Copies of this chain bind each other. A is one copy, B any other.
Amino acid sequence: MPANAFYAQSGGVTAVINASAAGVIETARRHPGKIGKVFAGRDGIIGALNEDLIDTSRESASAIAALVRTPGGAFGSCRYKLKGIDEHRAQYTRLVDVFRAHDIRYFFYNGGNDSADTCLKMAQVSSSMGYPLACVQVPKTIDNDLAGTDNCPGFGSVAKYVATSMREAAFDVASMASNSTRVFVLEVMGRHAGWITAAVGLADDAQHPLPLVLLFPEVPFDEARVLARVDHLVKTRGYCCIGVSEGLRDAGGRFLSESGLRDSFGNAQLGGAGQQVAHLVRERLGHKYHFALADYLQRAARHIASKTDVEQAYAVGRAAVQAALRGESGVMVAIERISDQPYRWSLGLVPLSRVANREHMLPRGFISRDRFGITARARAYLQPLIRGEAGLKFSNGLPAYVRLKNVSIKKKLAPFEG
C-alpha cells in the first residue's frame, strides 16, 4: 500500500484556497501507486493534533472539482501557530505519532508565514526522529505578504474585488455628489502591508478616472494633509473616494482603529480606521460621507474571483504534490514572474527557511510620490493578477458552492493531552 498524505488549511481563508485543495487532491488521485489517501485536518493543524482526519477519498470527483469554485476553507482552518520545538516538543512528536499511525508520509500545509514556520519545523522534527515526511507548503494569503513568491494565491481575487467595488461605488457617488454624498470611504484588509490598499488604486484608470485617495499602512496618517487632499478633490472634481487600510497608523505608530473615540463604557470605539477617517471628513470638512466595510466579503468573494488567481491557486497545489513525489521537502511552491506583459509565470520551489518569519512588503516604489496613490510599476505588477473571470455555477440566481461530507477516519491513538 502506498503511503498517505495529509493536507491542512491554515489561517484566514480565501476565495481560492479550496482551489489549492483541489489541486492537491486531484493530483494525488492521479498517482494511486504512490499516494494512498489524502487525509485533511479538520480545522487545520488542530485536526492533526486531535487525530481528527477527514478522509477525502469519500468525496466524489465532482465534489472535489467543485472546490475550485467554492470559497472558504472546505475542511476548516485555524489560527494556531505551533510553539517552538524546544518549548513544546510534545506537539511535534504528537504530529509524528499521528502521521505514523496513519502511514502519512506527505505533509501539505496550505498557509502563510506562520504555516511556513510550522512546515519547516515539521520537516526538521520528522527528520531528526528518523520519520520520513515530505513537507511542502502550499502558499496562501490574501495579504500578499508571503516571502519567496512573486505573489500569493488569494491576493489576486481580493484585489479584483476591492478594485471592482471601489469603481462601482465611485460611479454611484459621482451621481449623488452635487447635492448629497461627496466622500466615499472603503476600508480594506491588509494590516501590515499595503498590497490590498494598492489594489484599490486599479479602480482608477485612463477610461475610468477617479478622484481617489489611498491611505496605506506604510504611510503614517497625517490628518491635515489627508483632509486637504480630500477637500481639494471634492472642490475640483466634485467628489472623492478614499481607500483606507485597516492597518492605518498615526505618526506615533498607533493603529487608528485603536485611537481616539471611545464608547459610553470607555471602551475603544467600535469603528476601525475607515470609519475614523470618514468621521473626520464630516467633522472637519463638513462633507457628507458614506462608508463601507467589506470585511469578510472581500476575501470570500468567489463570484468576482480572478481567473489568474484561481489558476495559480490550483497550480500550486498540484505542484506541491509533484514536488513531494520527487522527494522534495522543507520547501514551498513559489510563483515566479517571467514577464508583466504578456503576463507569464512559472512555478518553482523555495526553501522554507527563506519564507518563514519574513514578510514581503509593498515596495516603496509602488507608492506614488504624493503617497496617496500607486505608480506605474505597481500597476504593471498588480494588473495581471486580477485578470480573467473564473467560471461559476449559478442555481436559482446565486452561486452554487459545494459542501463536502467531511467524514473522519477512525482514531487509533489516545487523545492528546497537549
Q: Is residue A171 contacting chain B, with contact meaning CB distance below 8 A?
A: yes
Alpha-carbon distance A163/B387, docked complex (angstroms)? 25
A76-B178, A264-B260, A270-B261 as given contacts; A168 in contact with B396, CB under 8 Å: no
Q: Is residue A78 contacting chain B, with contact meaning CB distance below 8 A?
A: yes
Q: Is residue A9 contacting chain B, with contact meaning CB distance below 8 A?
A: yes
Report copies per complex. 2
Alpha-carbon distance A278/B303, docked complex (angstroms)? 26
Interface centre among A164, A177, A387 (most CB of B within 10 A): A164
Alpha-carbon distance A295/B173, docked complex (angstroms)? 11
| Segment with Cβ contacts to B, from A22-30, A144-152, A286-294, A322-330 | A286-294
Alpha-carbon distance A174/B296, docked complex (angstroms)? 12
Q: Is residue A207 contacting chain B, with contact meaning CB distance below 8 A?
A: yes
A174, B72: Cβ atoms under 8 Å?
yes
CB distance from A4 to the nearest CB of B (A): 23
Residues facing B in A270-289 (CB within 8 A) are 270-271, 275, 278-279
A292-B295, A295-B292 as given contacts; A176 in contact with B208, CB under 8 Å: no
Q: Is residue A193 contacting chain B, with contact meaning CB distance below 8 A?
A: no
- Determine the residue in chain B with the shortest Cβ distance to A389: B394
B397, A160: Cβ atoms under 8 Å?
yes
CB distance from A394 to the nearest CB of B (A): 6
Counting chain A residues whose Cβ lies within 8 A of the other chain, the interface size class is: 35 or more
Q: Is residue A251 contacting chain B, with contact meaning CB distance below 8 A?
A: no
CB-defined A-B contacts under 8 Å, sample of 21: A9-B175, A70-B171, A72-B170, A72-B172, A72-B174, A75-B175, A77-B175, A78-B176, A163-B397, A165-B300, A168-B296, A168-B301, A168-B399, A186-B297, A203-B398, A208-B401, A261-B264, A262-B263, A291-B293, A293-B293, A297-B297
Known: A169-B297, A292-B295, A292-B297. 20 other contacts (CB 8 A): A13-B176, A72-B168, A74-B175, A75-B175, A76-B174, A77-B176, A78-B179, A79-B179, A160-B398, A164-B303, A171-B300, A202-B396, A207-B400, A208-B403, A261-B265, A270-B275, A271-B271, A297-B297, A304-B304, A387-B397
- Residues of chain A touching chain B, judged by Cβ–Cβ distance below 8 Å, are 9, 12-13, 15, 42-43, 46, 70-80, 160, 163-165, 167-181, 184, 186, 202-203, 205, 207-208, 260-265, 269-271, 275, 278-279, 290-297, 299-304, 306, 383, 386-389, 394-401, 403
